[in-house]
Chain A
Amino acid sequence: MPSRTVYTANIDFIQILDEHGVLDEKLAKDTLSDQEVLDLYQFMIRCRALDEVAFKLQRSGRMGTYPQNKGQEAAAIGSGYAAKKGVDYLVPCYRENAALFMHGLPMHYILLHWMGDERGNQIPAGVNMTPLSIPIGTQMLHATGIAWAFKLRKEPRVAITYFGDGATSEGDFHEAMNFASTLQVPVVFFCQNNQWAISVPRESQMNSETVAQKAIAYGMPSVQVDGNDLFAVYKATKEAVERARGGGGPSLIEAMTYRLADHTTADDARRYRDPKEVEAWQGKDPVIRLRKFLDAKKLWSDAQQTKLEEEAKEMVVEVVKRAEHIEKPTLADIFDYTFAELPAELLKQKQTMRTSSLGQNPEQVGLGAAR
């Protein structure tokens, strides 16, 4: 019996704005206008400013553990911008703050979350997203279910879910990809491949050359993009979002980026990363790259930059103020949201703040003594 090839596939890589800030005009056609790039650049600077201050808040003891987003902003912003605010739905993990802000999450919510306050997860009505998700990869199934609901109700809406390279080892990643493609629901799987899952590099995480190729097993379109290139991320996500919206089913996007900071403030990446590698990626920083592009097109000046940075600083001060000047939650809150209606025992625990039966009903103490 002769053997024959029953399946072949290849993975495309897209880069439109290279690390020197040089744009591929042909590929950039119909992506972002100069004005849009200017707006998104300024937004990126604001998000970076908040990220830096969040780090300092942790270091000065004003906030708990925080995972910095630094270096991955183009991936978050380019993808978030490709989705329709108020229509589409974001299902994040925890390193794409900029996409959430873009879709209407007040910035201080993120600080509240990391300050140990669930109100940072109390997504305002009309803002279409789930809160940050801490366990790795589980949220991709929620995105698939949300997209499934959109399909069932024939709503032209899309869910985008974010996760890292490490998450693609989790079973839930594969179950979500399989459910989404089998059910053909409008979801975009957006992988921020930042090369490191805490201390484990991609080559120890998987034997696949790319994350994108994992979609092939599920019969799902996929692409790898330069994740620090705002244009490429936007273009790829826009295509995936519109394909999903038009009934074309799910897609996987692998955005090649880099975590310039530690995994979280509790981590020290110097223990496992070569400083030369970090240095090389610092040269590919999406902020620097966009600035080079804007400079070359004479769309931006040092004076504008100074003004923007000052504004960003002031904005962050206000955001921090909002997060810090909120009244401490009451202990009653931990009970009140367990169920829509509190069962009797929970109500008793809330009313007495006791779990012991004599603590809950002190009269019983007398009953015992009388005996």
Chain B
Amino acid sequence: MPRTDMMKEKGLTLVDAINETLAQEMEQDDRIVLLGEDVGLNGGVFRVTDGLQKIFGEHRVVDTPLAESGIMGTAIGLAMAGMRPIPEIQFEGFLGPAYDQLVKHAARYRTRSRGAITIPLTVRVPVGGGIHAPELHSDSPEAIYAHTPGLKVVMPCTPYDAKGLLLSAIRDPDPVIFFEPKRVYRSFREQIPEEQYTIPIGQAKVVTEGTDLTLVSWGASVFQCLEALDSLPEDVSVELIDLRTIYPLDVDTIAQSVEKTGRCVIVQEAPKTAGMASEIATLIQEHCFLHLQAPVQRVCGFDTVMPYYKLELEYLPDAKRIAESIGQCLAY
């Protein structure tokens, strides 16, 4: 699909980048089938697959019945039979019915068949809060899937990273959950290469370099971190790391940074207990014990049910809470 004048002039949104990546790879690989609820004619509820059915036809961009286990289970069957399915689960809250298929089968098949049957599929899922959505449309369940052996989990938050990581995910021989932070879907535009490129799964990105403190985040929270950095005194030097991939985790990039800074704050939308921040904090104490100047801090969603949208911005880590935690960690 040719880029619009708007894209040429102002760049691509996250939605544009994902759409372009899907179109370009589908053009080259006729094993790819997109399936999900409303992904065809309607282009998905977020319009991520907009226009793709028109180009590739109803057989490759398929409006399925409204049943997430069915979507995931048939995608697994397609993958078993040599296709490259890309199911969309409309919101992360609806991963529940698909969980059984994803965790019991997709994640386990290579192991349980000792390599005889593999499941190359990319599950696209809008994730996270901040868009005034109804109940169960705003959760952050990435840790559940990172805890599942056999699954890879990625969550890019920029158009550039989304394009490169989605292509890696599609070409990966194993199941990958591709979380798309919906708060960032159209929040900004970025000029990115039109030709295909990949970003390896499992590599974090240093967003800003710094020497006083390491700030680790992923997904939409990266932008709250940037906002927090803007509010800090000029002489405070913070290194911001965007994980981009949740599993496998890029320990080296985090450890190298914390060895340098001695202090770390981790920011996640998900509830605090047993989330990815807990895992990262553990890895930091394992790898950087003698370098630490302060306890590793976690700025997270509360250990409550994600509230309805009137209170969601108070629930989600915001620049104020992040900046405050950075200040406390530096003062320790």
> Interface on A for B, CB 8 Å cutoff?
89, 91, 118-119, 121-125, 130-131, 135, 138, 140-150, 152, 159, 171-172, 175-176, 178-179, 182-183, 333-334, 336-340, 343-346, 357, 367-368, 371
17 contacts between A and B (CB under 8 A): A123-B117, A124-B116, A135-B100, A138-B101, A141-B72, A141-B73, A141-B74, A141-B101, A143-B77, A145-B77, A146-B81, A147-B77, A148-B78, A176-B74, A179-B67, A339-B110, A357-B287
Complex contact B67–A121 (CB within 8 A): no
Within the complex, the shortest CB–CB distance from B101 to chain A, in Å, comes to: 6
Nearest B-chain residue to A134, judged by Cβ: B104
Complex contact A357–B77 (CB within 8 A): no
Given A138-B101, A338-B149, A339-B152, verify A148-B77 contact (CB < 8 Å): yes
Whole-angstrom CA separation of A277 from B185 in the bound complex = 62
Complex contact A171–B251 (CB within 8 A): no
Does B114 belong to the interface (CB within 8 Å)? yes
Within the complex, the shortest CB–CB distance from B241 to chain A, in Å, comes to: 17
Nearest A-chain residue to B100, judged by Cβ: A138
Within the complex, the shortest CB–CB distance from A98 to chain B, in Å, comes to: 21
Whole-angstrom CA separation of A128 from B114 in the bound complex = 16
Complex contact A179–B74 (CB within 8 A): yes
Complex contact B81–A141 (CB within 8 A): no
> Which residues of the partner chain B approach A89 to less than 8 Å between Cβ atoms?
81
Among A135, A141, A340, contact of B118 (Cβ-Cβ < 8 Å): A340
Among B69, B74, B112, contact of A121 (Cβ-Cβ < 8 Å): B112
Does B202 belong to the interface (CB within 8 Å)? yes
Among B78, B115, B172, contact of A122 (Cβ-Cβ < 8 Å): B115
Within the complex, the shortest CB–CB distance from A202 to chain B, in Å, comes to: 24
Complex contact B74–A144 (CB within 8 A): yes
Nearest B-chain residue to A335, judged by Cβ: B111
Complex contact B78–A337 (CB within 8 A): no
Chain B positions 82 through 119: 1 when the CB is less than 8 Å from some CB of chain A, otherwise 0: 11010000000000010011001100001111111110
Interface of A is mostly: helix
Complex contact B101–A149 (CB within 8 A): no
Complex contact A122–B74 (CB within 8 A): no
Within the complex, the shortest CB–CB distance from A127 to chain B, in Å, comes to: 9
> Which residues of the partner chain B approach A135 to less than 8 Å between Cβ atoms?
100, 104
Does B248 belong to the interface (CB within 8 Å)? yes
Does B173 belong to the interface (CB within 8 Å)? yes
Given A175-B67, A337-B111, verify A146-B116 contact (CB < 8 Å): no
Nearest B-chain residue to A127, judged by Cβ: B116
> Which residues of the partner chain A approach B44 to less than 8 Å between Cβ atoms?
none
Does B150 belong to the interface (CB within 8 Å)? yes
Within the complex, the shortest CB–CB distance from B291 to chain A, in Å, comes to: 11
Given A122-B113, A135-B104, A345-B251, verify A144-B73 contact (CB < 8 Å): yes
Complex contact B112–A146 (CB within 8 A): no
Whole-angstrom CA separation of A183 from B252 in the bound complex = 47
Complex contact B83–A175 (CB within 8 A): no
Complex contact B65–A182 (CB within 8 A): yes
Complex contact B77–A141 (CB within 8 A): yes
With an 8 Å Cβ cutoff, the count of chain B residues facing the other chain is 51
Nearest B-chain residue to A339, judged by Cβ: B174
Within the complex, the shortest CB–CB distance from B150 to chain A, in Å, comes to: 6
> Which residues of the partner chain A approach B289 to less than 8 Å between Cβ atoms?
368
> Which residues of the partner chain A approach B149 to less than 8 Å between Cβ atoms?
338
Complex contact A152–B83 (CB within 8 A): yes
Does B79 belong to the interface (CB within 8 Å)? yes
> Interface on B for A, CB 8 Å cutoff?
33, 59, 62, 64-65, 67, 69-70, 72-83, 85, 97, 100-101, 104-105, 110-118, 149-150, 152, 172-174, 202, 247-249, 251-252, 286-287, 289-290
Nearest A-chain residue to B111, judged by Cβ: A337
> Which residues of the partner chain B approach A138 to less than 8 Å between Cβ atoms?
73, 100-101, 104-105
Complex contact A338–B150 (CB within 8 A): yes
Within the complex, the shortest CB–CB distance from B278 to chain A, in Å, comes to: 15
> Which residues of the partner chain A approach B74 to less than 8 Å between Cβ atoms?
141-142, 144-145, 148, 176, 179
Most buried by A among B72, B74, B118, B251: B74
> Which residues of the partner chain A approach B104 to less than 8 Å between Cβ atoms?
135, 138
Given A144-B74, A146-B81, A149-B81, verify A337-B114 contact (CB < 8 Å): yes
Within the complex, the shortest CB–CB distance from A333 to chain B, in Å, comes to: 7
Give 9 closest A-B pairs by Cβ, nearest first.
A145-B77, A141-B73, A343-B248, A149-B81, A175-B70, A357-B286, A145-B74, A142-B77, A122-B114
Within the complex, the shortest CB–CB distance from B181 to chain A, in Å, comes to: 23
Complex contact B248–A344 (CB within 8 A): yes
Within the complex, the shortest CB–CB distance from B110 to chain A, in Å, comes to: 5
> Which residues of the partner chain A approach B65 to less than 8 Å between Cβ atoms?
175, 178-179, 182
Complex contact B114–A176 (CB within 8 A): no
6 new A-B contacts, CB < 8 A, other than A91-B77, A122-B113, A345-B251, are: A89-B81, A118-B114, A148-B77, A172-B70, A176-B73, A345-B248
> Which residues of the partner chain B approach A338 to less than 8 Å between Cβ atoms?
110-111, 149-150
Nearest A-chain residue to B59, judged by Cβ: A152
> Which residues of the partner chain A approach B77 to less than 8 Å between Cβ atoms?
91, 141-149, 159
Given A141-B69, A337-B110, verify A344-B251 contact (CB < 8 Å): yes
Within the complex, the shortest CB–CB distance from B99 to chain A, in Å, comes to: 12
Nearest A-chain residue to B105, judged by Cβ: A138
Within the complex, the shortest CB–CB distance from A97 to chain B, in Å, comes to: 17
Nearest B-chain residue to A142, judged by Cβ: B77
> Which residues of the partner chain B approach A131 to less than 8 Å between Cβ atoms?
112-113, 116-117
Within the complex, the shortest CB–CB distance from B229 to chain A, in Å, comes to: 29
